Structure 1
Amino acid sequence: MPTLAHQQIHPHPHNKSAFAKHVILLLSTMMAGVLQASSATDQHYPIDVQSCDRIVTFDHAPKATVSNDVNLTEMMLALKLQDSMVGFTGVSGWKTLDPTLRNGIGELPELSPKYPSKEVLLGADADFYFAGWNYGMRVGGGVTPDTLDPLGIKVYELTESCIHIMDKPKVSMNDLYNDLLNLGRIFNVESRANTLVTGYKKELADFQAHLTPLPSPTKVFVYDSGEEQPFTSGRYGMPTALIEAAGGKNITDDVKKSWTQIGWESVIDRAPDVIIIVNYGDVTAQQKINFLRSNPAFSDIPAVKNNQFTVLEYVEATPGPRNIEAIKHLAKAFRAAL
C-alpha cells in the first residue's frame, strides 16, 4: 500500500480555495514544529559540563565525534549517538573488535589502531573527542584537551581516568553514570541518558537485593598482564567498584592508582581467594592462568591452589555499558569460591 506521502492529491476544480487553505495550514503546522524543535535546542545550549578539573562549554551538539577505546565507543552506542560520530580509535592495536560493537558501529571507520595523533583527528574533521587519561591521551602527550582546543576540538574526559591529573573520590559506579549523564547533556539527549542510567541502577539494586550474603568479603586480585610484575587495578580503577558491588574486596584497594604495576610479593602476602583475569591482547586468558598455575611461588595463593579464576573481558572491566553484567558474573564467581 502506498503511503500518504506517495499519494497524489488532485483537488476538485470547484474546491481549489479549500485545498489552498488546507496546504497553507499543513505548511504552517510543519513550520511550527520545526521552530519548536529549534527553540528547544536553542534553549538547551550553551551548556557547561564538568570534565575532570575543567569546565567545558558547548554551544551546540557535536556533529563529528571520535571516541577512543572499545568501552567509550560502547557508551556512545548505548546512547544511540552513532550518527554524531565520524570514527573511533584505539581498539585493534590492543584487542579484537567485539562482534557486538562491530555490528553497532556499522560502517564507522577505525581511524587509528592505537592512540590517535592530532593529524588523525584533524583529518576526520572531528569537533569532539571522547577519551580519557591513558584511554587515548597521555599526560604531557601531543593529544590533550589543551592541544586540541585551539584546533576547535572539544574533549570530554572519562571520569575514572581523572585520577591521573587530579584528586577524586574512590571509584564507584557513579563514575560510569556521571559520564553517561554528561554525554546526554552534551548531545542534548538527556531523557535518553536518564532512562539508561535509571535502568542500570534499578537492575543492579534488584540483583543485589536477591544476592546471597557472603560471610565476609571475598579477597580478589585483578590480573591484567605482566610476568615480571603484574599490572593490576587499584583503588581508582573500575574493577574495584565491580568487585565491591559483587560482595568482594580488591586486595589492592589501598593502592592509590587506577591501573598500575605492583610486586608479586604483595599478591602472595595478601592471599586472594579469587583472581580476575582481564582478557584482551595477544596473551590469552588461559595463557595467563597457565602462567599463574605453573609458577611454584604462587602455589600457596588460595585462588591458585583452589583453581578460583574468573575471566572478565576488557570491555567488562573498564567503565562502560557492560559493567552491570560484569558484577553479576563476579557475584556468581565469589559465591562459587566458598
Structure 2
Amino acid sequence: MRSRVLCGVAAAVALLVTGCGSDGGSGSGSGSGNASPAAGAAAAGPAAAGGFPVEVTDCAGAGTTFTSAPRRIVTSNAAGLEMLLQLGAGDRVIGTGFPPGKGSLPAALAEQGAKVPVLGDMVIPKEKLLGSGADLYVETFADMSGMGGAMGSAPTAQEYAAAGIKRVFLASTACAATTQGPQRDLAGVEDDVKRLGRVTGTSAKAEELVAGMEQRIGSVTAALAGVAADRRPTYFFFDFDAGTKQPVAVCGKQVANAVITLAGARNVFADCDADFRPVAWEEVVGRNPDWIQLGVRDKGSEAENARAFDEAERFLREFPATKGLKAVQEGHFLRIGSEVTTIAGVRNAETVQRIAATVHPDLVKGGQ
C-alpha cells in the first residue's frame, strides 16, 4: 500500500457528490421506473418555437430560465466537455477544469477536445471562472466549496449572477446522494444528455445520442432476460486510485450501480444508501465478489493505463486480505476505466455492454 496524494484529491472529488448547489435540472428519461437523480429537476414546460425559452430546475427545485442558447461555456471537468462535444456544441466551450487525459476522449472528439483551454488542472479557481466570460457553467459534481484548502472556495450564487453565469449540473452525479433509492438504469444519465441538449439548442442530437444508448442497452437487456436475479454474478468496483488502505465502494445511488445492474451483475455494495462510501477490507472479503473491476482513472496513454491495471491486479493478488477472494483466485478481473463507469456520459452504455460481454460471454457479444 502506498500514499497517492493527487489520487486522494481525485477520490475526494468523487466523494463530494453529496448534493447539488444550483442549476441542475432534468428532463424525462427511459428506464424501469426507478428513482432518477434528475427526478426533481425536470423541464418546467413546453418550449416555444426554436426550443426556447427553456427552464430547468436544480436538485432543490430552484429554477433557471434560458431564453437563448449559451455562447460561451465552461465545464467543470472532462465529463461535461465530452457531452458537449458529442452534442455538437463543442465550438462554444471556452474552458474546462479537470481536463481529459491524452487518449481518454473518443477518437472522433479528441482533436477538438484538445483545443479547449484548460482553466484548472483540478477545480477551476474561483477568480478565473468568474472572469472567464462564460454565460454557462456545466458542473459534473455538486458545489465543491466544502473542499477548502487547495481546492479554494466556490463562487456564491450572487457572484455567479453578477458575472452573468448560469449553471447546469449533470444531475445523475451531482444530485445522486440526495435522491430516493438506488440507480438501476441510466434514465438519469439520459436526462442529463437531453437537458444539456435543450439548454444548448441541440435537442435533435441529444435524442439521437439517447436512442443509441437505449439500443445498446436494450440488446443487453434482451440477451439477459432469462438470467434469474440470483444467478447473476456479484461484482465489486475496486477504485484503485482512491487508495488501498481503505477501499471506497460505489453504492446504490452511484451511476456505476446502474451500469453494473444493467450488465447483469450484482453490485456487492448496492445496499449502502449513498453514492460512495469508505468501507473496510473485511467488508469486501465478507461479500467475496465473483468479479472485480479494476477501476483505474485514465493516465494519458494505453501503456500507462496498462501499467496501472497491472498494479491494481498485483495489489489484489498479493494483499493478504484479498488474495483469497473468489474473483482473485479465478482471475476474474475487468480492466475498464473509472470515468466511463462512475461519471455520467453516453459511453456508460458501452460500459454496460463491455461488462455484460465479460460476465455473460455466452449471452452477450460485442463488448469491446
Is TM (by shorter chain) over 0.5?
Answer: yes
> Taking structure 1 as the reference length, what is the TM-score of the superposition?
0.79
Counterpart selection for 1:274 from 279, 291, 301: 291
| Equivalent residue runs for 1:183-222 within 5 Å | 183-211=196-224, 213-214=226-227, 216-222=231-237
Structure 1: stretches of 5+ with no match in the other structure = 1-39
2:78 is aligned with 1:70: yes
Q: 1:290 to 1:214 in 2, by over 3 A?
A: farther
Which amino acid in 2 is paired with 1:150?
A
2:138 is aligned with 1:130: yes
Provide the secondary structure at the position in 2 that maps to 1:87: strand
| Equivalent residue runs for 1:193-272 within 5 Å | 193-211=206-224, 213-214=226-227, 216-225=231-240, 226-272=243-289
Determine which structure has the larger helix proportion and give its number: 1
Determine which structure has the larger strand proportion and give its number: 1
Conservation of the 8 A alpha-carbon contact between 1:279 and 1:285? yes
| Equivalent residue runs for 1:32-43 within 5 Å | none
Which amino acid in 1 is paired with 2:104?
D
2:352 is aligned with 1:319: no
Q: Look up the match of 1:98.
A: 104
Mapped to 1, the partners of 2:180 and 2:197 lie a distance apart of 22
Conservation of the 8 A alpha-carbon contact between 2:177 and 2:253? no
Alpha-carbon displacement from aligned partner over 1:243-286 (angstroms, at most 9, x marks no partner): 11010110110112212321111100011000111121668121
Counterpart selection for 1:180 from 178, 193, 210: 193
> Taking structure 2 as the reference length, what is the TM-score of the superposition?
0.73
Provide the secondary structure at the position in 2 that maps to 1:284: helix
Provide the secondary structure at the position in 2 that maps to 1:260: strand
Q: Look up the match of 1:48.
A: 55
Mapped to 2, the partners of 1:77 and 1:281 lie a distance apart of 19
Mapped to 1, the partners of 2:226 and 2:248 lie a distance apart of 30
Alpha-carbon displacement from aligned partner over 1:98-120 (angstroms, at most 9, x marks no partner): 25343232522111110112212
Q: Return the index of the structure with the highest Cα Rg.
A: 1
Q: Look up the match of 1:13.
A: none
Report which structure shows greater RCO (CA 8 Å, sep ≥6).
2
Q: Look up the match of 1:302.
A: 326
Q: Which has the higher mean CA deviation after the structures are superposed, 107-116 or 160-169?
A: 160-169
Provide the secondary structure at the position in 2 that maps to 1:296: coil
Q: Look up the match of 1:11.
A: none
Conservation of the 8 A alpha-carbon contact between 2:254 and 2:275? yes
Structure 2: stretches of 5+ with no match in the other structure = 1-46, 300-306, 364-368
Mapped to 2, the partners of 1:112 and 1:307 lie a distance apart of 39
Provide the secondary structure at the position in 1 that maps to 2:182: coil
Q: Look up the match of 2:43.
A: none
Which amino acid in 2 is paired with 1:167?
T
Mapped to 1, the partners of 2:274 and 2:145 lie a distance apart of 15
Q: Which has the higher mean CA deviation after the structures are superposed, 208-217 or 198-207?
A: 208-217
Q: 1:46 to 1:169 in 2, by over 3 A?
A: farther
Q: Look up the match of 2:92.
A: 84
Alpha-carbon displacement from aligned partner over 1:114-150 (angstroms, at most 9, x marks no partner): 011221213321111111335x734576326725233
Provide the secondary structure at the position in 1 that maps to 2:360: helix
Mapped to 1, the partners of 2:51 and 2:347 lie a distance apart of 30
Q: Look up the match of 1:151.
A: 163
Q: Look up the match of 1:107.
A: 115
Q: Look up the match of 1:166.
A: 178
1:169, distance to aligned residue in structure 2 (A): 4.2
Mapped to 2, the partners of 1:60 and 1:144 lie a distance apart of 24
Q: 1:138 to 1:278 in 2, by over 3 A?
A: farther
Q: Look up the match of 2:24.
A: none
Q: 1:144 to 1:251 in 2, by over 3 A?
A: farther
Q: Look up the match of 1:287.
A: 311
RMSD: 2.6
Q: 1:230 to 1:75 in 2, by over 3 A?
A: same
Conservation of the 8 A alpha-carbon contact between 1:89 and 1:114? yes
Name the % identity: 25
Alpha-carbon displacement from aligned partner over 1:134-179 (angstroms, at most 9, x marks no partner): 5x73457632672523322111111123446733442230111000
1:336, distance to aligned residue in structure 2 (A): 5.2
1:47, distance to aligned residue in structure 2 (A): 1.9
Q: Look up the match of 2:38.
A: none
Conservation of the 8 A alpha-carbon contact between 1:277 and 1:311? yes
